[in-house]
Structure 1
Amino acid sequence: MKTIIFLLLIAAPLAVYAKAVKKPQANIEKRPVTPEAAAQAQPDPRFCIFGAQSGKVFNTEAAFKAVVWKNDVVYVGESHDQLLDHQAQLEALKAMKIARGSKIAVGFEMLNASLQPILDEYTAGKLTQEEFLDKVNWKKEWGFDFNLYKPLFDFIVENKLRGLALNVPKKVVGKIARTGLESLTPEERAYLPEKVEISRHKKYNDFLKASFAGHGDSPMAKMFTIENYLASMAAWNEGMGARIADFINANPGYSVLVVAGNGHVIYNAAIPASVKARVKGVRQASFYTESGACPEKINKDHKDMANYVWYINHPPKAEPVPAATAASTTAVTVPATAVR
């Protein structure tokens, strides 16, 4: 009996204490939610995103921002001719701006590293758009309509952000595909890091080999060996990855948005793997953009494509796409790789 009374005496104050500590929590939960915060917590058709491993849904602006904010490097892959993919990249850039202010660089596959001084002039507001396009020879260098990328460049200029010209010159990638890494001159080799690692990622290598095999007995395919082809792809990705890594290592506190074809993002085996090997403890998030209506759950064939799969319902193409440049299918230099 005494024991029971003793326990009751202990329990009574604990119960009172429990009620006391719950009251502030209740007040916190009842704080008014701003319309903006409420909207960001609602499913948003712009964000049909799934965790590529977990299948978890990230379909709100708040969830998307949370992913972007906690990473140093964010990759949003693209199909080069799809405006909605570039709008997705802009969404990522806007989210990064909230978290990092002006400490942001945007890396472009569209421009090779030799064009960095021109890009610096443009982002600093020292060149008009027309002067920039003329100096980088946009139509020859890339080929796709600049208007697809214009909102990204405008945001960079308006907010005084940094731009990075990432790509390896087409002639260098093409030469490797034809005659191997050892055939490069010192000037050509300077576009690549000292170490060029050919990926051992099985799914990624299967992806590349299938693309190579798809050319069959075409004259272009006969120009290359599979070994040199894989070396050219490795050099391409390592060149871009090293550019990103060098920037991050030299600029602590900065984050980088990488604007590149899906083939450079897929399986995290291309550029992301190169950056990871060169930046200790780097935090990365990759989004593979997949054309199609928003499904209820991730397509099983799309699992592991990146960290996240972002379904974007592309409109039907009204006209055939213009001849692809080296940056998309590398038709000028190496067999197409399904890099979109």
Structure 2
Amino acid sequence: MPTKPSKALLLSAITALALTLGVLGPFSHALGVRSIPAAGNYCGLPAGWSVPGGTLLEDTALLARLSEQSAVLLGERHDRLEHHRWQLDVLRALHAVHPDIALALEMFPRRVQPALDAWVEGELSEAEFLAQSDWHKVWRFDPELYMDIFRFARDKRIPMRAVNVESDLTRLVGREGFDAVPTDELEGVGRPAPPSAAYTDWLTTIYQMHLVGNRVGEHSERHLRNFIEAQLLWDRSMAEGIHGAIVESPGRLVVALIGSGHLRHGHGVPHQLADLGVSAQATLLPWDADFDCNELVDGLADAVYNLRDYGTRGPALDV
């Protein structure tokens, strides 16, 4: 079972949850737990790619393994430019060895798919794309954090897939619960697979620390259940979007850009993907100096990338 989440990770997760739910008032190796780093410490990770804990991974071998997957899930902190530069480097490297690729994006709800299609076809200016995709309503982060990725997809005609749902839907499930929402209002999302005990514990910790307020007893239990169900809906929507892109073109590699909280320890989207029959998947996470080394444990991800001096060391994967 993963270690107790750090305060920094909890706050990051809560911020992401709040944006969507509107509820705030947000290659495995055995290894041990490490201490919280001082500023600028990268938990002993070597430069470049490694398994959680520090064992160096060779770029070519990692790239070959990734190219054999059906889905490669790239984590992020949404507001960190270095994370998106790293994602773009990985995307470029994978496209070079596996051109049949699609890009699945947490940023967009399903209803804006026509705007993504038109963008990839070169039919929209950047301003038109942001307007027609309703960016400033559905995501609200600075679009320049992501635009180089979107430009690359357009230039290479990489299909972009909107895999999220409307925030109004996740808020509704957060208030009423999954079963209270009529099927025709679920945007086509099926019933999520039950969460693991560890994921339930993690979400419960977030809820109890920051969302409960003065709710007690049965009322609190109902709100906690609805809160977890809203998160599962969110995870399931993204997993189904990724799965749909895979089924649409057998042999395609789908690269997904998703907040790291949905990916860590395989609990969120990876768990739902496995329930949909996608076993050939890998999760990659960027690692920053202010991350808690207590989180760097066995099973966190298939590989992590040390972002120290990123931008001066070269691409995240050499091809």
Counterparts in 2 of 1:179 and 1:288: CA distance versus 1, 3 Å? same
Stretches of structure 2 that go unaligned for 5 or more consecutive residues are: 1-44, 311-319
Deviation digits for residues 229-248 of structure 1 (CA, Å, limit 9, x no counterpart): 11111111011101111221
Match of 1:309 among 304, 312, 315: 304
- 3-state SS of 2:256 partner: strand
Give 2:226's aligned residue. 228
Give the match for residue 266 of structure 1: 264
Rg (Cα) greater in structure: 1
Structure 2 residue aligned with 1:12? none
Render the CA deviation track for 1:222-269: whole Å, top value 9, x for unaligned.
Answer: 897111111111111011101111221221011011101001111111
| Equivalent in the alignment of 1:167 | 164
* Structure 2 counterpart of 1:132, one-letter code: F
TM-score normalised by length of structure 2 = 0.75
Decide which moves more: 209-218 or 220-229.
220-229
Shift of 1:48: 2.7
Compared with structure 1, are the counterparts of its residues 205 and 306 closer, same or farther at alpha carbon in structure 2 (3 Å cutoff)?
farther
RMSD: 2.7
Counterparts in 2 of 1:74 and 1:291: CA distance versus 1, 3 Å: same
Q: Percent identity?
A: 24
Q: Is the 8 A contact 1:73 1:258 kept in 2?
A: yes
Which one-letter code corresponds to 2:245 in the other structure? Answer: F
Matched, 1:183 2:159: no
Residue in structure 1 matched with residue 282 of structure 2 by the alignment: 285
SS at match of 2:69: coil
Partner SS for 1:257: strand
Q: Is the 8 A contact 2:103 2:255 kept in 1?
A: yes
Aligned with 1:211: secondary structure?
helix
Matched-pair contact (CA < 8 Å) for 2:112–2:134? no
1:206 is aligned to 2:201: yes
Higher relative contact order (CA 8 A, sep 6+): 2
Moved over 4 A (4+): 219-224
Matching residue's letter, 1:172: L
* Residues 248/228 of structure 1: CA separation in 2 closer, same or farther (3 Å cut): same
Q: 1:218 aligns with which of 203, 213, 216?
A: 213
Query: Residues 157-195 of structure 1: CA distance to partner in whole angstroms, max 9, x if unpaired?
Result: 0001100101111011110110011221333223312x3
TM-fit CA distance, 1:55:
4.6
Q: CA distance change for structure 1 residues 215 and 300 in 2, over 3 Å: closer, same or farther? A: closer
- What does the per-residue CA deviation read over 1:73-94, in whole Å, with 9 as the maximum and x for residues that have no partner? 1111000010110111111111
**In structure 2, how many angstroms separate the alpha carbons of the residues matched to 1:220 and 1:115?**
36
Shift of residue 153, structure 1, vs aligned partner? 0.4
Q: CA deviation at 1:309?
A: 2.4
Distance 1:213 1:151, change over 3 A: same
Q: Which residue of 2 aligns with 1:56?
A: 55
Q: CA deviation at 1:219?
A: 7.4
Which sections of structure 1, spanning at least 5 residues, go unmatched?
1-44, 316-340
Q: Residues 63-113 of structure 1, C-alpha deviation per residue, up to 9 Å, x if partnerless?
A: 442342232211110000101101111111111111212x11101100001
| Contact 2:67 2:253 (C-alpha < 8 Å) held by counterparts | no
- The one-letter code of the counterpart of 2:137 is K
Q: C-alpha separation between the residues in 2 aligned to 1:293 and 1:314? A: 14
